Amino acid sequence: MSGKSQTKYVFVTGGVLSGVGKGISAASIGNILKSRGFKVNIQKCDPYLNVDAGTLNPGEHGECFVTVDGAETDLDLGHYERFMDIELKQSSSLMSGKVLQQVINDERAGKYLGKTVQIIPHVTTAIAENIAETANGFDVHIVEIGGTVGDYEGLSFIEAIRELAMKVGRQNCVFVHVVYLPYLGASGELKTKPAQNAVRELRGLGIVPDVLIARSEKEPTDDVVQKLSLFSGIEEDAIVLLPNARTIYEVPLTLENRGIGRVITQKLSLKSSKPHLKAWQDLVGRATDEYAPVVKVGVVAKYLNNQDTYMSVFEALKAAAWANNYQVDIEWIDAENVTEANAESMLKHVDGIVVPGGFGKRGLEGKIAAAQYALKSKKPYLGLCLGLQMGVIAAARNAGLTKANTIELDPNTPDPVINMMEDQKYIEKMGGTMRLGNYPCHLTKGSLARRVYGNDEVQERHRHRYECNNNYRDQYEKWGISATGQSPDGNLVEMIEAIDHPFFLASQFHPELASRPNKPHPMFLGFVKTLIK
């Protein structure tokens, strides 16, 4: 890293509590900078000691978002991609485990020439170098630091961005601190003291924030900004209050209306054109239309204790509905409670069924029962990754193979219609057990899949271990399904659809990851259009 840098940096940190909205704030800043014509990149630095997000429990941490080049990342990268309409790479996700692994490998290789290896300077330098390398070639690079300022595990990242700001020049950096204003019901007021303390904590670590974003559940009173400015030392025009919005996609417009885009570009000495946000304003208008008609979708799932678990699926459904001037009412249906006997009573009231991805045995029989019901009742069905596998099993069972299964659920099934390919069994021994990232898919002429996409070949993101067993493919037509999406060599089933059905479409990949709020994914669009019909 040199002392001067053409790239400008926006560092986003959080205080008071976790889950305060740093990811949405960072993505929104990216949105309004990109709308001014700047070339913007963005990165999440996570203090977890994991190497990546692949092993994190989605029930605790939300969905695992997969990039086009196969990185398993935090769900905030999904926000970044949706808000900024970009495709991020592995370099946009950095976890502590990855940094420490690199530093230890360098130490073992003798890179430090016998010096004592320490958090400062070796770990912090590795972090800063990674950030600078990811920023290379962009006008602005946004860096979100995960966790809450004051967390022990996050201190090396805070120190790294402090050091990096010194190296590239403080005039090339803006520090944005996102805090929370709790509401005290007894006194009926928002309290600013936790936010004041969070700013003081950051200052104690050597970073003076330039912009303060204050989240709250209630609408703040007029004196809150003056109070925050007085006790934090941040100018009033660089403080923005963000009470709960009707939709998260309002946040870029709120930041822009409060002048934060102007504040950031001025502090970074960036010459800026006027922001082009008309399309985004139209999107927010559709997203907040309370009088729009509604379609009801049942999502048959098993991770029900965290709203973030199926974030990309829900956002893709909403985007498809908004594009049709509709709203979508999403009902979570516990897969563990669905059986072949009660599927009709549990699912008949919804307009369509979605079976999303997942891992492990729990809830699989319920998802199979949901797919069986969708096939028999002609209820519109969208299967995502695991949803395709459940659809194949459902078709086989409906056709008489009552013990058909996936080897994930029953390794001894007499009809393993879903299994692990031979080459994957070999790969598993080497530690890499999944297909990850973009792979091509060829679509059959005249198929629903081809009509939905309007193309004969597509690239989509994968994250799965198991595949359709090719030994059963010649029976698909007899089961009432067809493999209408395949790998270019024809060896892997990528998409299936029901032969005589208004809409039963499922993919081995995760189309929700490529959906955008103003550019819905074709599979979701086709699904919602069918529900409207």
- Range 516-531 average pLDDT: 98
pLDDT for the residue numbered 30: 98
Whether 399 maps to a domain, the answer reads: yes
Alpha helices in 212-298 (DSSP H): 223-232, 251-257, 260-267, 278-287
pLDDT value of position 421: 66
Average pLDDT over every residue of 124-131: 97
What average pLDDT is seen over the chain? 93
CATH number at residue 411: 3.40.50.880
Distance CA 8, CA 168 (A): 9
* Residue position matching structure tokens 């840098």: 5
**Rounded mean pLDDT of 42-62?**
87
Q: Any idea which residues carry the catalytic annotation?
A: 385, 510, 512
Residues 459 and 310 in one domain: yes
φ, ψ of residue 299 to 5 degrees: the values are -100, 110
Point out the domain boundary residue: 228, 261, 283: 283
Ranking 78-82, 100-104, 408-412, 481-485 by mean pLDDT, the lowest is 408-412
**Residue 379 shares a structural domain with residue 250:** no
**Structure-token match 């729009």, residue found:** 292
What pLDDT is recorded for position 311?
95
Same domain, 301 and 206: no
Whether residue 455 sits in one domain with residue 434:
yes
Type of residue numbered 426: Y
**Whether residue 274 is found in the same domain as residue 315:** no
- The answer to whether residues 330 and 382 touch, using CB atoms and an 8 Å cutoff, is no
Q: Which residue has the tokens 């799965």?
A: 464
Binned at pLDDT 50, 70 and 90, residue 169 comes out as very high
- Domain membership flag for residue 59: yes
C-alpha to C-alpha distance for 289 and 286, rounded to whole angstroms: 5
Q: What pLDDT sits at residue 4? A: 47
Predicted confidence at residue 424, as pLDDT, reads: 58
Nearest to 14 by CA among 162, 139, 198: 198
Q: Are residues 272 and 303 both part of a single domain?
A: no
346-403: pLDDT as tens digits: 999 999 999 999 888 888 999 999 999 999 999 999 999 999 999 999 999 999 999 9
Q: Is 513 exposed, middle or buried (0-12, 13-18, 19+ CB in 10 A)?
A: buried
Same domain, yes or no, for 36 and 110? Answer: yes
SS (H, E, C) 422-491: HHHHHHHCCCCCCEEEEEEEEECCCCHHHHHHCCCEEEEEEEECCEECHHHHHHHHHHCEEEEEECCCCC
- 312 in the same domain as 334: yes
How confident is the model over 26-30, as a mean pLDDT? 98
HEC secondary structure over 29-87: HHHHHHCCCCCEEEEEEECCCCCCHHHCCHHHHCCCEECCCCCEECCHHHHHHHHHCCC
Is there a domain that residue 394 lies in? yes
Q: Could you tell me if 325 and 399 lie in one domain?
A: yes
Domain boundary (283, 313, 342) is at 283
pLDDT at 307: 79
Provide the domain limits for residue 126: 8-283
Look at residue 218 and tell me if it is in a domain.
Answer: yes
Q: Which residues contact 371 (CB under 8 A, 6 or more apart)?
A: 353, 355, 381, 383, 387, 390, 391, 393, 394, 395
Residue 3 is assigned to a structural domain of this protein: no
| Among candidate residues 283, 299, 324, the one where a domain is terminated | 283
Q: What gap in Å lies between CA 23 and CA 213, rounded to an integer?
A: 12
Query: Do 249 and 311 sit in the same domain of this protein?
Result: no
Torsion of CA 94, 96, 99, 102, to 10 degrees: -120
Does the pLDDT value for residue 218 go beyond 90?
A: no
Q: How many CB atoms lie within 10 A of CB 506?
A: 29
Residues 27, 261: Cα–Cα separation, whole Å: 13
- Whether 2 is covered by a domain: the verdict is no
Count other C-beta atoms under 10 Å from residue 493's C-beta.
Answer: 26
Taking only the tens place, the pLDDT of each residue in 225-272 is 999 999 999 999 999 999 999 999 999 999 999 999 999 999 999 998
Q: Residue 340, Cα to own-chain centre: how many angstroms?
A: 32
How far are the Cα atoms of 249, 307, 360, 396, 462 from residue 409, in angstroms, in the given order? Answer: 39, 26, 8, 15, 20
Instruction: List, in sequence order, every residue forming a beta bridge with 436; answer none if it has no partner.
Output: 463
The pLDDT-based confidence of 3 (bands split at 50, 70, 90) is: very low
CATH number at residue 105: 3.40.50.300
In sequence order, the 6+-apart residues with CB closer than 8 A to the CB of 506 are 355, 381, 382, 383, 384, 387, 388, 391, 495, 496, 497
Residue 201 lies in a domain: yes
- What is the C-alpha radius of gyration for the chain, rounded to an integer number of angstroms? 25
> What are the φ and ψ backbone dihedral angles of 468, each rounded to 5 degrees?
-70, 135
The answer to the question of residue 182 being in a domain is yes
**Residue 141, pLDDT above cutoff 60:** yes
Q: How many domains does the chain have?
A: 2
Span of 107-116, 194-203, 278-287 with lowest mean pLDDT? 107-116
pLDDT at residue 325 tops 90: yes
Give the list of residues 6+ apart from residue 489 with CB closer than 8 angstroms, or none. none
The answer, yes or no, to whether residue 275 has pLDDT greater than 60, is yes
Tokens of 222: 């007029």
Q: Is 344 in contact with 338 (CB distance < 8 Å)?
A: no
pLDDT in tens, 395-433: 999 999 999 999 989 999 999 999 986 665 655 444 456
Same domain, 271 and 368: no
24 with 251: CB under 8 angstroms?
yes
Q: Going by DSSP bridges, is the β-strand pair 352-355/294-301 parallel, antiparallel, or unpaired?
A: parallel
Question: Are 526 and 514 spatial neighbours (Cβ–Cβ below 8 Å)?
Answer: no
Q: How far apart are CA 500 and CA 92, in angstroms?
A: 43
Length of the chain: 533
Euclidean distance between CA atoms 212 and 395, whole angstroms = 55
pLDDT per position as a tens digit, 93-107:
999 999 999 999 999
CA-to-CA distance for 202 and 213, rounded, in angstroms? Answer: 14
Residues 447 and 298 in one domain: yes
Q: What is the pLDDT of residue 432?
A: 53
Nearby residues of 493 by Cβ (< 8 Å), 6 or more positions away: 388, 392, 467, 468, 470, 473, 483, 485, 486, 508
Q: When comparing pLDDT for 58 and 423, which is higher?
A: 58
